[in-house]
Amino acid sequence: MSASLAKVFGDLRESRRARLAKAIVALGAVIVFQAPQVAMATLGGSAQSVAADQQAFGGQARTLSQPQSSAALQAPDEQSAVPANPAYTVEQITTPTGVTVNEYLSPGGTVFAVSWRGPRPPDLSQLLGSYFAEFQTAAAASQPQRRPLRIQTNDLVVETGGHMRDLRGRAYLPSLLPPDVSADEIQ
């Protein structure tokens, strides 16, 4: 009889563990699927994702580009910050830590390039999105050196450089550059 009681209590303990495990899995699924989805502005992402970057970086955003006719009316010192090419717009995010991120959007609303400058680099996994793994792999394969880093793959170009407290970089997708837009315009 004691053997059968031990078996019943053992089964009872096992079934409690199984139920607890199922409950934890179910709760995890509810949390994952019910949590608000955060869209990140990423290279190759949509224009709507720029606001998500602003929120993630905790910065202030503004649009730098304007139609070419009103750009001509601006003061000369302001004109240099505004792209002269109407083939894209630039959304600029300035973070509380002093990092400035520019996101370049094609007329179709796709982020085809990003650039940054500040005392430290921004979260590149956020900016590069699905291209971050490709960047990491290519960066790990490059030889360490004390000069600006340039990574170029079939899909992605990333350049970083600068010096302490003044770091700069840019990343772009050559295949998504709008017609008549040169990579030199991404600053």
Q: pLDDT tens digits, residue range 55-71?
A: 667 767 777 754 343 33
Q: Where are the beta strands (DSSP E) in 52-156?
A: 60-63, 89-94, 100-105, 111-118, 149-152
Report the relative pairing of strands 111-118 and 100-105 from DSSP bridges: antiparallel
For the chain, give the mean pLDDT.
74
> What tens digit of pLDDT does each residue of 30-54 get?
333 333 333 345 788 887 767 666 6
Token digits of residue 13: 């303990």
Cα distance between residue 150 and residue 141, in whole Å: 12
The span from the CA of 150 to the CA of 184, in Å, is 14
Q: pTM for the complete prediction? A: 0.65
